[in-house]
Structure 1
């Protein structure tokens, strides 16, 4: 029996390693994922998608006919304006996403622009889901398992513990001080506590390119904290969203555990498959890996939504990306840099304009109530103040200077990406329910949080980062005289100082 098993394993490995067979299998996964995505988006039968709508009793929308040409052109105009204005603000050292958000707000609230655009709800939903897919994959890409194993102490404290502290503070303040429904308060906590990866990570990369923080591991640890923070909030939010709006909460909790387990196992298996498909020595390996990761992630998220198991898709995509990247970073000379660059470009040209312009377009200034705005500011302020204190305390015993501790504590308070991606899901779930006002309040708080904290966080990092990291660099140069960059630091031959463990 052992001989038969060994022979079967050898045959399977030889088949997978065969260049042409490997390419065929990789292509099959890509095209199958694209098929699943289109079937899910168009809500067609999986086996026979060309069957007529009436044949399987599809419920047609009673709304009036949509001018898809007008709607498509509206999206294009909104996208172009968002890209242009975002670029203009970036020249002023302000976040590009702030310009994108303001474009959406302008098209909704300036009188002569308010009636120009026609944004179809169906197309909007698909675009938002696609943009969220890129955001989720990028967050999972940023989580470096190799670095986490070496510096799990400080990363866990800042990425998990400080985030949970802010979530708890927001929930308690919203419910007990401002009488927000418990379920909505929990959702607000998960949405509002996430740090701004779109602000922190690019700015840190720019500082490292200029030579700041290269000799220390401060930036490496910081770049692992933010993705972990985002993944915690995204995954927890999807579970909480299903439970809060469930008819039978006790049974829904069991369903969520099952969905999460299936998603994690499926993501683990899928990630292992991506270890072998495609081969690491193929001519277009990085291109195939990028297309495969994107297509599989879209299929998982749209497919899971089609069968009402959205949490499973989120967990599967997260685990699959983390597992796949753990191998891609060590099996070739370029590691996963090219894949990360492509997804960064996708975020800049697609996800950011879609997410921030659309949430800005949903923001109606005329309908704002001063009480709601002030309560939102108070809730967000309480949560951020508590996290500021705890993040500073939790960063002790990590080998950081006081300046670095203060910098990381303040910058973690920046809000942007998750605050634009998740609130629309809450609003859609609360339409025509008793929680609709609370959902609008959550969206309003998130928009104001982006407007206020995103530029402040970026400016603080740009202005204070060089001085804080320069002090660290000076000390390390005199003591060690060596430099470790991000990708070198994650290799198995490198080691962290003892105080990072």
Structure 2
């Protein structure tokens, strides 16, 4: 009896302990109370420790942490390169020069993005990349230790050209082109051809260029830059400006066609300039190259429409890899066998034909190509800036180059305004389209150095003309890219009608994403 009662009292007392507040457990005569008190005090002591672990953090966060992390990544990339290739990663080596130009261009682009002027749209980052390469070349102490072999530089720029052409080919939307019909073709072809012809005339009489070089320079200047136009149009479209008449879609679609025409014309002139023989022979030679390009691009494009098949895994990755490797091989291989310009047209045809069959998967492939472009863009503009040396420029070269670019640009804008007449646009909209059709960047960054590299390899006696072409291309980017971006951002909200139907804006944004 005593044992049973004592056990029941112990159980009742234990139940009482678990249900009472810790502050009421103060009886020192009870062992059970003491044990409970010890357990509760332990838990109370451990709570602050857990709290400290939860809220303890690295002392450096935010921008400073990002800078230190990226700096360590840069150092480790250099250490890895040096441990594998040795002197190539040291000052004066090619890979050291590429790393410095690459990271300097990225920093220049980021720095330009940080510059915010009230009521003024942001400047394109490619301008900062171009200036970074220009400073590396023209600062005496730095230029002594930064060197990139001309052959390696040419290969990188050709790969960048290939990526641009792939994006242009994939960006051509057959439905949008069919919907816009004549206006899109008029806007893409007219200003490009007229500006190329006007630049040829001005460069022949002002810069004393032969007619072959004059038209080659004209097609270098004739292309508009999607890298400036497309982001600016997307921003206006998101805010509802000009979407009722499809002005942003029109400009984005026509920019790709404009580049295709300019690059094709440049390649034709390049083959004429650096080939021997009569004019008739050169024309027939160019026609043969075009036919070979169209045939090869069509065959490879139809091949990529069905291989790999849609039941395979990692479909978009395989398609992106095949497009890149085939197109880079076409561009570099055509130069190797002497078919100048054939690879570029083959790339455009291949990517366009293949993209028409991929439907929704096309956007995933475009994203892969965009990621590749993010790598080659700073290299391209950094290397282009590094090609321009102030010390080698003649006193009057800059002045006559600026005059040629300015006069050709005026002809282009006036032509654009005239061609947009009778297309259903108001006076303000035609002025806006004419101003938005002036930025130049990506195509000029590729084609200008390409003429210089070709002259160095096959015709050193023509290197002086090619250097002038390079200078004009550099100045065209420097003048038109920032001014064009500013004009689009400032004039767009003032001259375009704003449409507030959000459902239609979303629908147009989806179609634009498919296009780009």
- 1:197 and 2:226 matched: yes
What runs of 5+ residues in structure 1 fail to find an aligned partner?
Answer: 1-65, 492-501
- 1:387 and 2:412 matched: yes
- Partners of 1:101 and 1:274 in 2: CA distance: 35
Aligned position for 1:75: 98
TM-score by length of 2: 0.76
Query: Aligned residues, how many?
Result: 417
- Partners of 2:368 and 2:114 in 1: CA distance: 23
- Partners of 1:214 and 1:257 in 2: CA distance: 40
**1:484 Cα offset (Å):** 4.1
Larger Rg: 2
Q: Which of 437, 454, 458 in structure 1 is aligned with 2:464?
A: 437
- Partners of 2:355 and 2:427 in 1: CA distance: 33
Q: Which of 135, 156, 164 in structure 2 is aligned with 1:127?
A: 156
- 1:337 and 2:363 matched: yes
**1:481 Cα offset (Å):** 7.3
Aligned position for 1:46: none
- Partners of 2:153 and 2:429 in 1: CA distance: 41
Whether contact under 8 Å (1:214, 1:484) holds in the other structure is no
**1:483 Cα offset (Å):** 6.6
Deviation per CA, 1:460-486: give whole Å up to 9, x if none: 2122223334x1526xx59x9787415
Q: Which of 354, 359, 372 in structure 1 is aligned with 2:397?
A: 372
Deviation per CA, 1:11-30: give whole Å up to 9, x if none: xxxxxxxxxxxxxxxxxxxx
**1:434 Cα offset (Å):** 4.3
Aligned position for 2:316: 286
TM-score by length of 1: 0.78
**5 Å matches for 1:260-299?**
260-299=290-329
Deviation per CA, 1:407-436: give whole Å up to 9, x if none: 111121111111110111211233464432
Aligned position for 1:348: 374
Q: Which of 446, 449, 453 in structure 1 is aligned with 2:480?
A: 453
- 1:413 and 2:438 matched: yes
Distance change in 2, residues 1:415/1:482 (3 Å): closer
* Secondary structure class of the residue paired with 1:422: helix
* Secondary structure class of the residue paired with 2:424: coil
Aligned position for 1:104: 133
Aligned position for 1:90: 113
Whether contact under 8 Å (2:225, 2:439) holds in the other structure is yes
Whether contact under 8 Å (1:217, 1:484) holds in the other structure is no
Whether contact under 8 Å (1:401, 1:472) holds in the other structure is no
- Partners of 1:154 and 1:161 in 2: CA distance: 10
- Partners of 2:504 and 2:354 in 1: CA distance: 34
Deviation per CA, 1:77-126: give whole Å up to 9, x if none: 21011112211212322111111111111111112212121212232222
Deviation per CA, 1:345-400: give whole Å up to 9, x if none: 222222x2122111111111122223211111111111111111110111122222
- Partners of 1:267 and 1:481 in 2: CA distance: 37
**5 Å matches for 1:221-370?**
221-249=250-278, 250-329=280-359, 334-350=360-376, 352-370=377-395
Aligned position for 1:27: none
Ranked by relative contact order (alpha carbons within 8 Å, sequence separation 6 or more), the top structure is: 1
- 1:118 and 2:147 matched: yes
Aligned position for 2:42: none
Whether contact under 8 Å (1:216, 1:473) holds in the other structure is no
**5 Å matches for 1:142-221?**
142-221=171-250
Whether contact under 8 Å (1:216, 1:472) holds in the other structure is no
Of 160-169 and 299-308, the range deviating more from structure 2: 299-308
- Partners of 1:340 and 1:124 in 2: CA distance: 25
Of 460-469 and 154-163, the range deviating more from structure 2: 460-469
What runs of 5+ residues in structure 2 fail to find an aligned partner?
Answer: 1-85, 116-121
* Secondary structure class of the residue paired with 2:347: helix
Distance change in 2, residues 1:394/1:67 (3 Å): same
Q: Which of 452, 460, 465 in structure 1 is aligned with 2:492?
A: 465
**Over aligned residue pairs, what C-alpha RMSD do you find?**
2.3
Of 183-192 and 292-301, the range deviating more from structure 2: 292-301
